[in-house]
Every structure is written in C-alpha cells, then in structure tokens.
Amino acid sequence: MDIFEKCYAFQDAREAIARGVYPYFIPMTENEGSETVFHGRRLIMCGSNNYLGLTTHPKVREAAIRAVERFGTSCTGSRFLNGTLELHEQLEHELAEWVGKEAALVFSTGMQTNLGTVSALVGRGDVVILDKDDHASIVDGARLGYGKLERFIHNDMNHLERVLQSIPDTVGRLIVVDGLFSMEGDLADLPNIVPLAKKYGARIMVDDAHGMGVLGGGKGTAAHFGLTNDVDLIMSTFSKSFASLGGFIAGDDDVVHYIKHHARALIFSASIPAGNAAAALAALQVMREEPERIFRVNQIAEKMRAGFRSLGFDIGHSVTPVIPIIIGDDERTFLFWRALFDAGVFVNPVISPAVPPGRQLLRTSYMATHTDEQLDRVLEIFSVVGKQLGVIS
C-alpha cells in the first residue's frame, strides 16, 4: 500500500474551500491588534490571543528591534550549546520572580515547553494524569514520555480521585491541567485539585498559556486562586499576552535544573532569537507598569459575556476573555463563521476533535485594546447572523 494513499483520499478541506466555507490558513495583509485586513477589507479581530494588545505596543516593538540590531536574527544553535544569551537568562530570572517560583526555563515555543517538560519528568513506571480538555501539546508530551497516561472527565473531582486511588503509592504521579481552558474559557478547579494531589502524593503542573497576563493580576490561574505555593510547576507561552514567540516552565530550582538537562525539546531545538526574548521581557515590563490593561481585558470580558447571554447565545461556563458561542453542529458553525467574516468580524470556528461532538463552537476572544464601539458592533453583527441562522430567536 502507498503511504500517500490517505493524502490523496483526504478531500474534506478541498470541498470546504470549493463551497467557500473553509475558515483556516487565511492570509492577512495587515494585523493591527484589534483589527485585521483581508484583501483590503478591515475586520474586527475577535479570534486572537493577544489579550493585552501588546503586539503593537511601542515599548515591545522597540525592544525587539533593538535586540535584532544588537544580536542579529537568530541564535543559530540550541540553548544547550551555543544558543544561550544573557538575555535568555535575564528573562528566566524575571519570569520566575513574576510567577512566584525559584527558577524558570525558556523554550522555543509553548508546544515544545509542554513536550519537553512532561516527557522529561514522566519516566517508566510514572503516571501522568490529564484533564480530558487539556491542550493537545500536553497530551503529546504525555505520549512522548515512557510513563502511563490517565485522563479524567473535565473538572470532575470525583473521577480524578478515582483515578488517583487506582495508582499504587509507589508510583510517581503528575497531574497536568490547563489553567484557563482555551476553547470554552473556564478554569481548572485548582481549589479542589490541590487537596486531592496532596492526599495522594501527586505533583501539579498548570499550563497557563491563556491565563498568564489575564488572571491573578497577570500572574496566572494559581495566583488567581491564591495557590501559587501549592502548584509545583507553572507553564506559559509567549505567543499570547507576552506578544512574542516561545514558552517557559517555572518551579523549584532542582526540578527546573533537571528539565534543563533532560528535555529533548530544549536540547535539540534552536533557542528563541534575541528579538523574541526582548519582546517578551518588554511585555512583562508593560504588565508591571500598566496593570490597567489587565483590568480592561477582564472588564471587556464581562461586557461581552453579558451581551451574548442577553441575546440568547449559549456561552457555556466561560469566566474569562475566551468566550465560546456554542453551536453544536459542524455545518452551522462554518456557515455562522462565514457570515460573520463577510460582515466584518473575525472569529475561530472549532469542531471535533478539538471539542466533543455536540459542542462545536465559535471561539471568540478579546483584547484590552478593543474599543466599546468595536464591541457593540460585534454584538450587533452576532445578533443579526444568529437570528438569520436560527441559532437565537
């Protein structure tokens, strides 16, 4: 059998393209934070993870430009060999301080942070326990390791306890959860996960890719719940609130030191360029100096959640700037996306396997730089399209 046969048989995307409802890989000519441009037409961007709007902040842009001028465009090597700059170590020190941990380690992407961290820690005989709604990078990291993978129903503490009870006391256990779940905007139940982890001798890692810069005064989900000291590892990415590219893991110095010398995703991957490191550092500085941005993005989230609910949309259990509009059907999800796109609003359609069948949704997300005028326009367009498609009455 030809290994390419499945490639020739895959026609779903081409059929969607032919029908004009293919929503992925859309090439933008401009991206100015709260607005984007496609073929000369401006759209309100409600599908970005640029929560604090820092990709266009003058300090962040200038820091990246200065770093490129000084260090060039690439480090041309891994952190392990020739690719570590003083800038990387400064960033690690400040990130550890920001999230309240002893040490931090910077990876090339958020995906690699999870791949490298989980696979390095979970060895033969160990068990990694994941929430069923965890990000794909966590799942892939668990699969790369040599340990056993267990999963529990999303935020179901009774099921989590049954899983923990089934694991022998002699086995190492790591619970990994998203802090802010990226599709439906709800939070990990850390106040109940922490006591269970202590009861059964498990460690906790929180992927705070979407919570960092948004919750807990910008310091993430653990800080939001007052549980920073009870969570063992905090992970985040630079491609959301930090307005850059890369990721980091933070925790006890000995644990981070071990990951540094055992994570293949770090050792065998080139380090982030100086421009990316400098941008992330500058974004962190802005978070400290302009806390009103963190307040504003959460204020906007409250406005939009209330607005969508008043229109009759199902937004699930969102308590954050990630607000799903649950449609429950592939066809209507794509048609809704297309109608919004044509009317000037950019959102992200999400179908299975990214969400369970029956939970197909339009993922909307908001930035501190959205204006009230833009937000009111978004609600107006959603109302019109929702009624046209019969999603709301």
pLDDT in tens, 208-248: 999 999 999 999 999 999 999 999 999 999 999 999 999 99
pLDDT number for residue 86 = 96
pLDDT number for residue 354 = 86
Bridge partners of residue 45, in order along the sequence: 346
For residues 182 and 49, give the distance between their C-alpha atoms in angstroms, rounded to a whole number. Answer: 9
pLDDT number for residue 353 = 87
Walking along the chain (393 residues) 10 residues at a time, the average pLDDT comes out as 96 93 93 91 97 97 98 96 97 98 98 98 97 96 95 98 96 98 97 98 98 98 98 98 98 98 97 98 98 98 98 97 96 96 97 90 98 98 97 94
pLDDT number for residue 284 = 98
Output the pTM of the full model. 0.96
Which residues, at least 6 apart from 269, have a Cβ–Cβ distance to it below 8 Å?
78, 107, 108, 112
pLDDT number for residue 136 = 95
User: Closest Cα to residue 359, out of 131, 129, 150, 154?
Assistant: 154
What is the sign, positive or negative, of the torsion defined by CA atoms of 81, 284, 46, 236?
positive
For residues 34 and 372, give the distance between their C-alpha atoms in angstroms, rounded to a whole number. Answer: 12
Q: Which domains does the chain have, with CATH numbers?
A: 9-45+291-388 (3.90.1150.10), 56-289 (3.40.640.10)
C-beta of residue 211 within 8 angstroms of C-beta of residue 219: no
pLDDT number for residue 266 = 97
C-beta of residue 39 within 8 angstroms of C-beta of residue 373: no
Q: DSSP states of 90-138 as a string? A: HHHHHHHHHHT-SEEEEESSHHHHHHHHHHHH--TT-EEEEETT--HHH
